[in-house]
Structure 1
Amino acid sequence: MTELLELMLVLATVVSVANGNTILVKDNAGKTIPVRLACINAPKIPGQAFTLGATQRLKQLLPPKTPVVIRSTEQLENGRTVGEVFVDNRSVNLLLVESGNAVVDRESLQNCYETKTQFLIAEGNAKNKHLGLWQQSKVQLKLNAK
């Protein structure tokens, strides 16, 4: 069991933030890999305030050289890793939902089984407080799939 768990966890350092859904990290072997944040969607419409907000928030949470732990949930054919990113034992994915900068991706939520309920509660709280994306009366987002 321990071996399986170790395979799922990647120790890495942030290189850069690509957008509100994707970061570049350097793993302990020195390989730079793109990581798509699991179980969430952030808007990806260029120039839109909410898109910029999600990217800026992610840059605040993950400045370059930040050490992170990634719980890998999926490996995509294009070589991208999909995972939940942790800094100081806090899920960055969850922090984006809490601040209203991302919404829960219900199609992939089962991949975040340990924090599934927290994601849904965080989204409900952000919605009730009209944070970030939820400032609009009806959130109409064009969220890109993986």
Structure 2
Amino acid sequence: MELFELILVLATVVGVTDGNTILVKDNAGQTITIRLACINAPKATVQPYGLTATQKLKQLLPPQTPVVIRNTEQLKSSRTVGEVFVDNRSVNLLLVESGNAVVDRETLQNCYESRTQFLIAEANAKNKRLGLWQQTKVKFNSHAK
């Protein structure tokens, strides 16, 4: 059995930067940039459906929303990568389910307890042609770390 350290951060949403990134304020009052783990969403400024993905994230996480973040990685750029939960639901997974994001297979191992759910959600969204799956070919650049 694999042992791991579970790092949970309680925070409040300050704002949404794009379909992959949010700003939160932790209990100590620090503002933290959070990159959503295990998913990729189109960039709002250059890719089709990017604005839609950002709007969906803003709908799911309006300012002042209390969230729990399961920290998966700390990037050199001082950004935190994590899975964001509201009312025990993964916002990352909700974006994939609605077709507003795809699974990032390179980092999926960071979402170990829900990786199967991510893959099933993506397959369902693709089958139903939801969100960005309405396009004949889904292609966009992943977020740079």
Q: Compute the TM-score of the two structures, normalised by the length of structure 2.
A: 0.94
Which aligned runs of 4 or more in structure 1 are off by greater than 2 angstroms? 142-146
- Extract unaligned runs of 5+ from structure 2: none
Aligned CA-pair RMSD: 1.1
Q: Equivalents in 1 of 2:25, 2:130: separation in Å? A: 32
1:97-112 superposed matches below 5 A? 97-112=96-111
- 1:113 is paired with a residue of what secondary structure? helix
> What one-letter code is carried by the residue in structure 1 that aligns with 2:90?
S
Cα deviation, residue 18, structure 1: 0.3
Between the aligned residues of both structures, percent identity stands at: 77
1:1-146 superposed matches below 5 A? 4-5=5-6, 8-46=7-45, 48-146=47-145
Aligned residues: 141
Does the Cα contact within 8 Å between 2:19 and 2:44 map onto a contact in 1?
A: no
Q: Equivalents in 2 of 1:58, 1:12: separation in Å? A: 16
> What one-letter code is carried by the residue in structure 2 that aligns with 1:40?
I
- 1:127 is paired with a residue of what secondary structure? helix
- Extract unaligned runs of 5+ from structure 1: none
